Every structure is written in structure tokens, then in C-alpha cells.
Structure 1
Amino acid sequence: MTLDRIAPTRRPEGANAGTQRWRELLFVHWSVSLDEVRALVPAALELDAWEGRAWIGAVPFRMEQIRPSWLPGALALDFLELNLRTYVHHRGRPGVWFFSLEASSWLAVRAARVGWSLPYWHARMRTERDGARVLYASSRRGHDARFDVDYEIGDALGASAPGTFEHFLLERYLLFAAHRGRILEGQVHHAPYPAHRARVLRLEQTLTAAAGLPALQRAPEILHWSPGVDVEVFGPRAT
């Protein structure tokens, strides 16, 4: 099936459901066989492979000024977030399936679980930056699901060109969730990520094993970093 990877990048018509700022994102990616992922993704979703392999991404970052459209800006939330994901398509629309999402805000966890049926978890999280070097640590409360990375930001790459591997990994604007036997779809809109190279100095994690995936103790195949984007959120809606 030929997927239209450009249509989801366009802004949906009408008012958004909320706005967010995503800052200092690290994209860590490993490849695995399709069989290692298939049982963990709803049958209604097709795996979106690159060169015959499924890709697992871990994305730690900062969330700023998170608010639904009806909430005054003064009450917006700032917190740390980390998502574990793979890539799928549904009825010809490519997007993201989340195995788990960690957040340092208990309120954000509850709101996302109720409003979006997403597998959010409350975690102890911290990050520090010294020039181009960044430390980011997350530990899920009450569970052995940890992610601890020490990395270095590299040269700027700019926006990813359509058709490239970088565009396949980074430019994802649809998310899918399962709720009472139905697939929900949400959409985000933002400018293309201004991407940089990145280099991991140390990475220890049990997040993938906690999700039922391979432990993935090997070095990731590819990394990217972005200073961030301003985001509009639309949905969710049943498909």
C-alpha cells in the first residue's frame, strides 16, 4: 500500500482542542522484527515498516504551556514526558502507536488517560543541560520501567525531506489509541522539526522490557535531537 505521508502534515480545518510546546526532544530508535511488535499492536492497525523492519522509538522531552483551548494560559502545565512508540497506519493514514508514556505531572497523566485513552504513567523525572550535553532520567512510580540517558547534541540537519528515513521517523502527525474496541485518532499540527544529529554517551533502560518488547540493551541505530516545535492538538475522534 502506498501511504500519503504529506496529507497528515497539513493543518485540519476548524478550531484546535488545545496547544502545547514541545522542547528539547531526543529521538532514540532501534529496529526489531515485525513479529516482535505485531502482538502488542491492535489488529486493526497495520505496522508501518522501513525496509522490512519495525522501529521502536523512545522520545524524552519537555512539555511546556500544555492546555486545552478553554483553559486560560496562566493555568497551563509544564512537565517532563517520555514516550515509547512504534509506527503504524490505519486506513491508509500513517501515525504512531504508543506502548507507554511517562509524565512527571500526575494531573497530566489522569487527563490523558481519561480524555485520550493513552497508557500514561506517573514517573519521577529530571533533566539537566550543560551546553551541548544533556542528562535525562525517568523512573516509573511503583514499577521497574526506567530510562536514563546521557547524550550530546550534534550538528544541525534542518527539516527532513519527504521520502527520507528521517522524515519517516520524525514527521508523524497522527496518533492512534484503542478504546472499547474502537480505534481513536488524534492529530497534531506543527512546523517540521529542525533536526540535529545526536550522540549517546550512556543509555540504560528497562522501558522496552516493561512494555513486553525486547529488552534492547544494544546501542540504538539512529538518534536525532530537536530544539522543539509549537503544537496544535486536534481530536480525539473515533475512526
Structure 2
Amino acid sequence: MFVEEGCIEEKRKLTTSLPWIMKQTWSDVLFAHYPVPRKVLENLVPSGLTLDTFYQTGWVTIVPYLTSSMHLRGLPPIPGMAAFPGFNVRTYVTLNGKPGVYFFSLTASNFLAAYSAKTFFRLPYFHMNMYYKKAKELIIFESEKKSGLQLLCNYKSISAPSVADKGSMEEWLVERYCLYTVNEKGVPLRADILHEPWLLERAEAEFQHNTLLKALNIVPNYERPILHYAKKAVVRIWPIVQAENK
């Protein structure tokens, strides 16, 4: 059963009284986590946001996934958006004690989804042709090359699902319930996101081509990422609002 707003733990409580505006499902999610020197990321994150680190180490995560069942509140699924693949590149930030994610880039194979998110959420969204296929347990994910970005990979789960342990790095990486960005004046903006805690599985992945970190001039501490897989999350998204910087 989906978690209701009134019974979620403290760190997941909403910071807006507005109703959610969109619901969608994310499936076959791969989290590829790369440790990155703190100073490198501090130079890439807007000054209005504070880089969040785990034991003084910054992290960047590449996330390919499939979006489906997208619909606005009170309306049926949006025509032309039945299911489409996408990926994002994110790091971790905090503001006023509320941890969240900051996206360096996001892509979607659906033009309307990419255009709408870029327009209404002020996010660095790109439209890109992609190929997604599930062959038994193996996910085949391929994108074209555009704006220096390209991701070709295969991945699969290799364990049973479980919720991340309290206080673990896994929990720190994935249990975040808002996204941050800034407007043209550098003022922080926030959109709340709500879903059940991630059911994570250990994963294996083969990256045939991956230019996503290179495009940001990021060299990770280790070439091999920490990998997690999640089968599905049903997500509610709130409108983007100005985040008070106390």
C-alpha cells in the first residue's frame, strides 16, 4: 500500500501544503554510484545549495530506468506517454536540514515529457532516442549520443530485495524525498517526491559506453561503481516551489 502523507517518518515529511500534481511509476531502476572528491562537486553545485557528503566523500549516481503510468492528479494517463526509458545524472545536496538530489542532467526518450519537465520544473532535461528491452532478467539500455551524453549498458539483479539499513550508505544514497534546482537568479527551488522506501537488490552491470561523467569533467575515485537495482516505485510529485534558505 502506498504510504500516505500523514504517516511517513520525519525525514520524508512534506515541506509544502500544496497537493501533489503528478503520479508515475519508475521500473527496472539501476543506481550506479561513483565516489567523487568533495571539492570537484562543490565547484559544480550551485552556491545556493550545500553539497551533501558521506564521511566527507561526494557521490554522483547514474540512474537509467523506465517511466510508465504518468498522469496528472485526477486525470487518466497522459496520451503518448505509456512507457518510455530515460536516465539521469545526480549528486546529493541539502538545504535547511532536508536532504535531496541535484540533477546535472536528465534525459527522456519522450519529447513531450522532456519538454514539460524542462519548462515546468526548470530541470536540465534533454530529449534523446533510446532503446530499452528486458530479456528475461537482463535489462538492455542504449541511448543515442547527444550533447556529449551517451549511455549503453546491460544490467540485472543478483539478489533478493530489501530495504536499506538505517544509517547505512545505501539509505543515505537512495532515501531522499525531494529534488533541488535553482532559478536564473540562483534562488533555490524544491519539488517534493513521495514513494515507499526503495526495495534494493544488488546488481551486476556492463557498461559498453558511458560518457556521462566525462561530459561533466568528473573523474571518480574508482572506475567501478557501487550498483543497486530496484524493480519498481510508484511516485507522487509535488509542484516546484521556492525553497526558503534560512
The 8 Å contact of residues 114 and 127 in structure 2, kept in 1 or not, is answered as yes
TM-score (norm 2): 0.88
- Using the TM superposition, name which of 162-171 and 13-22 deviates more: 13-22
- Using the TM superposition, name which of 57-66 and 126-135 deviates more: 126-135
Corresponding residue for 2:98? Answer: 93
Corresponding residue for 2:143? Answer: 138
Structure having the larger proportion of residues in strand: 1
Q: Secondary structure at the match of 1:36?
A: helix
The 8 Å contact of residues 63 and 87 in structure 2, kept in 1 or not, is answered as yes
User: In the aligned structure 2, how far is the partner of 1:22 from the partner of 1:135?
Assistant: 16
Aligned-residue offset at 1:157: 3.6
Corresponding residue for 2:6? Answer: none
Instruction: Give the number of aligned pairs.
Output: 233
Corresponding residue for 2:12? Answer: 9
The 8 Å contact of residues 71 and 78 in structure 2, kept in 1 or not, is answered as no
Q: Deviations over 1:70-129 (max 9, x none)?
A: 543253722111010000101111000000001101111110111000000111111122
Using the aligned pairs only, state the percent identity. 28
User: In the aligned structure 2, how far is the partner of 1:30 from the partner of 1:137?
Assistant: 20
User: In the aligned structure 1, how far is the partner of 2:219 from the partner of 2:72?
Assistant: 36
The 8 Å contact of residues 34 and 222 in structure 2, kept in 1 or not, is answered as no
5 Å-filtered alignment, 1:38-187, equals: 38-69=42-73, 71-73=75-77, 75=79, 77=81, 78-141=83-146, 143-181=147-185, 182-187=187-192
The 8 Å contact of residues 208 and 216 in structure 1, kept in 2 or not, is answered as no
* Alignment root-mean-square deviation, CA: 2.1
Residue segments in structure 2 that go unaligned for 5+ positions in a row: 1-8
- Using the TM superposition, name which of 66-75 and 78-87 deviates more: 66-75
Corresponding residue for 2:236? Answer: 232
Residue segments in structure 1 that go unaligned for 5+ positions in a row: 1-5
TM-score (norm 1): 0.90
The 8 Å contact of residues 8 and 174 in structure 1, kept in 2 or not, is answered as no
User: In the aligned structure 1, how far is the partner of 2:140 from the partner of 2:170?
Assistant: 24
The 8 Å contact of residues 65 and 76 in structure 1, kept in 2 or not, is answered as no
Corresponding residue for 1:3? Answer: none
Structure 1 residues 37 and 79, CA gap change in structure 2 (3 angstroms):
same
Runs of 4+ in 1 over 6 A off after TM superposition: none
The 8 Å contact of residues 26 and 61 in structure 1, kept in 2 or not, is answered as yes
Corresponding residue for 2:4? Answer: none
User: In the aligned structure 2, how far is the partner of 1:190 from the partner of 1:76?
Assistant: 24
User: In the aligned structure 1, how far is the partner of 2:67 from the partner of 2:10?
Assistant: 25
